[in-house]
Amino acid sequence: MKVLWLYAHPDPRSLNGSLRDAGLRKLDELGHDYRVSDLYAMGWKATVDSTDYGDHSAGERLVVASASQAAYHSGTLSPDVAAEQEKLRWADTVVVQFPLWWYGMPAILKGWFDRVFVKGFAYGVTDPAHPGRTLRYGQGPLSGKRVLTVLTSGSPEAPLGPRGINGELHHVLFPLLHGTFWYTGMSVLPPLAVYAADRLGEQGYEHYAALLRRRLESIEDIEPLPYRQQNSGDYDDNLVLRPDLAPGRSGLGVHYTGDHPVGDGGHPDDESQRLRAAAG
């Protein structure tokens, strides 16, 4: 396996840093290849601007999608962006690890997607068999790659559960899991969340480190989230779910096929609870 480990925390002495190191040791043990993009250590530039696109002339209005696509195809993307794309091409598996800040990624990591996932590379590619049909949501340039999200949150588990005040974790992460990963064709594994991260003792840390190691051991076999494919026939020509599917319902859960627990209101990530129960 070839793993790209994308990591965004300002301090290597953090909980995130320890978990990353534990994860990389496990990958070594399993004999997998890996490369790490440690965004803070790299001094990653978070902000999209015209300097990303070498062939963009200063006098010209900047339309990000088309400028990025043109620079991608002409090989004039900023070298730091091109280097990240090369790592992604190489990888079959991606781990994306970050602390949840304001219910989203730290800006430096959001900026990685803003700058690296350009048109032509990550999206905006049409189906050769059906010209005019864009490959998107389950199909696309990054198809075949698996992605595991690992995050820490100050929130305990219940407030990020199905009826918790912070919103169900999978729904809070929908812009990343569905709107970014799945959009580009990647297979999205259930995220691994470290809850109550600010109050984790030594035992809590060991619990989550064990959970992470188990995920990495089985990463090739974990069932991805069953999001619906755009071009499967589930959506009409306006990209609205057909009325006979999840009839009368709405909300983000309708975009899972069948009776997946998130779609129906249950909580899919009960591995953590099971392990905790087993540990007494």
Q: How far is the CB of 85 from its own copies (least distance, A)?
A: 16
Q: Which is nearer to its own copies, 159 or 224 (CB)?
A: 159
Sole binder of its own copies in the list 129, 131, 144, 165 (CB under 8 A): 165
Sole binder of its own copies in the list 33, 92, 114, 271 (CB under 8 A): 114
Sole binder of its own copies in the list 25, 179, 210, 279 (CB under 8 A): 179
Question: 129 is written with which tokens?
Answer: 């068999």
Question: From CA 84, how far away is CA 101, in angstroms rounded?
Answer: 23
124 phi, psi to nearest 5 deg: 75, 25
Of 278, 30, 269, nearest to 151 (Cα)? 269
Question: From CA 44, how far away is CA 68, in angstroms rounded?
Answer: 18
Q: Which is nearer to its own copies, 17 or 224 (CB)?
A: 17
Q: Which is nearer to its own copies, 115 or 215 (CB)?
A: 115
Answer yes or no: are the C-beta atoms of 220 and 144 closer than 8 Å.
no
Sole binder of its own copies in the list 23, 106, 141, 268 (CB under 8 A): 106
Burial 184-218 (b: 16+ CB within 10 A, else e): bbbbbbbbbbbbebeebeeebbebbbebbbebbee
The position carrying tokens 């496990």 is 26
Q: How far is the CB of 9 from its own copies (least distance, A)?
A: 9
Q: Which is nearer to its own copies, 198 or 223 (CB)?
A: 198
Question: From CA 192, how far away is CA 113, in angstroms rounded?
Answer: 20
Question: 80 is written with which tokens?
Answer: 């730091």
Which residues ranging from 11 to 70 are in contact with its own copies (CB under 8 A)? Answer: 11, 13-14, 40, 46-50, 61-65
Question: From CA 258, how far away is CA 250, in angstroms rounded?
Answer: 14
Q: Binding marks (x or -) toward its own copies, 70..89, rule CB under 8 A?
A: --------------------
Q: Which is nearer to its own copies, 62 or 222 (CB)?
A: 62
- List interacting residues with its own copies (CB under 8 A): 10-11, 13-14, 40, 46-50, 61-65, 99, 101-108, 110-111, 113-114, 117, 137, 154, 156, 158-159, 161-168, 171-172, 174-176, 178-180, 198, 228, 230, 235, 238-241, 246, 248-255, 265-266
